[in-house]
Amino acid sequence: MRNVIKSSIVYFVLLLGVQTLNAETKRALLVGISDYGNTIEDPNKWANISGANDIELLKPLFKEQGFEVTSLVDRQATHAGITKAFERLIKNCKKGDLVYLHFSMHGQPFEDLNGDEPDGWDEALIPVDARMYFEKGKYEGKNHLIDDELEKYVSTIRNKLGTTGKLFVVLDACHSGTSSRGDDDHVRGVREGFTRSGKYYTPDRSREQNDYFRVPTAVGQAPVTFIEACRSYQVNKEILNKENKTWYGSLSFYIAKTMSSIKIDKSGKWIDAVKIGMKNDRRLRRQNMVIETSK
């Protein structure tokens, strides 16, 4: 009898250990900027927006759903601050984890340097210490978070998560909107590209009529889904929540609304609810949510 009990205890301990090793951790990195330091609304500087509001809205919801949350807002969201957060996240990730990345900030086309873009332009997120225009010897783009750099972090995370993990990347920014802010419209982004050569940015709309794209996957990588607030040539509007009189990014607002009834999980079913919410909002009738997925 003792041997039976002893064997049962050993089996239970081993089983518990296997379950612990296989248990996923849910991790979220949330980055949002409201204060770009443009208190006098200088058109040559980034307009202040409502990105930090998005993070304040989302952070408690992710914690309620069991995510380990890291957040960077306003002055914390420098290029160095964001890259360090990526490095910490990569260090902590393990196979099978669910990882969610969220960026609420300005976006800007960035003149392609390595020839990998058919239209000659990369896309860049704008940390709080990135400037709007190129100035030789003063600011040459080092603090822009270019899509090539973002892709390197995304690829490394996918390798760490393995085939049983899952990565979501949410971009509540636009790459070519307008920085003007009227009484009724708040938008994110600028039409001008960041250029060293003086090249004029003209979006190729003929390539941007599809809202679904396929992302390649290397052997052993986790599946990934990118969710973007709008097509690259469209304005990404902020919307006013009439209940608390607060402005939010449109994509962030509908993710938060969805999370009140649906969990963020690996299935990605929650994305359909977000898309429906944005599509049915008349304020967003000229804005198309874009999804890029590996499968």
Instruction: Identify the pLDDT of residue 122.
Output: 83
Higher pLDDT, 109 or 18: 109
Instruction: Identify the pLDDT of residue 156.
Output: 98
Confidence of residue 295 (pLDDT cuts 50, 70, 90): confident
Which of the residues are catalytic? Answer: 106, 174
44, 152, 158, 206 from 89: Cα distances, Å: 34, 14, 12, 37
- Residues 43-77 pLDDT 10s: 889 999 999 999 999 999 999 999 999 999 999 99
Instruction: Identify the pLDDT of residue 177.
Output: 32
- Residues 74-105 pLDDT 10s: 999 999 999 999 999 999 999 999 999 999 99
- Residues 123-148 pLDDT 10s: 899 999 999 999 999 999 999 999 99
Closest CA to 277 of 229, 211, 220, 225: 229
Instruction: Identify the pLDDT of residue 52.
Output: 98
Confidence of residue 178 (pLDDT cuts 50, 70, 90): very low
Find out whether 54 and 122 touch, Cβ atoms under 8 Å.
no
Count of CB atoms situated within 10 Å of the CB of 120: 16
Length, in residues, of the chain: 295
Confidence of residue 2 (pLDDT cuts 50, 70, 90): low
Q: Which helix (H) or strand (E) holds 45?
A: none
Instruction: Identify the pLDDT of residue 192.
Output: 81
In this predicted structure, the answer to whether residue 7 has a pLDDT above a threshold of 70 is no
- For residue 214, the cross-strand partners are 293
Report the distance separating Cα 97 and Cα 167, nearest Å.
Answer: 8
Q: Angle CA(108)–CA(208)–CA(166) in degrees, nearest 5?
A: 75
In this predicted structure, the answer to whether residue 14 has a pLDDT above a threshold of 70 is no
In this predicted structure, the answer to whether residue 211 has a pLDDT above a threshold of 70 is yes
Closest CA to 103 of 63, 68, 154: 154
In this predicted structure, the answer to whether residue 179 has a pLDDT above a threshold of 50 is no
Q: What is the mean pLDDT of residues 171-179?
A: 60
Find out whether 210 and 287 touch, Cβ atoms under 8 Å.
no
- Please state, rounded to an integer, the average pLDDT across all residues of the chain: 86
51, 53, 184, 248 from 245: Cα distances, Å: 15, 12, 13, 10
Helix, strand, coil percentages, rounded to 5, for the chain: 30, 25, 45
Closest CA to 254 of 236, 235, 239: 239
- Residues 242-262 pLDDT 10s: 999 999 999 999 999 999 999
Enter the tokens of residue 181. 């802010």
Which DSSP string do the residues of 153-167 spell out, in sequence order?
HHHHHHHHH-TT-EE
Count of CB atoms situated within 10 Å of the CB of 22: 10
Instruction: Identify the pLDDT of residue 194.
Output: 86
Report the distance separating Cα 288 and Cα 66, nearest Å.
Answer: 30
Instruction: Identify the pLDDT of residue 185.
Output: 55
Query: What is the pTM for the complete model shown?
Result: 0.87
- Residues 183-193 pLDDT 10s: 345 677 666 88
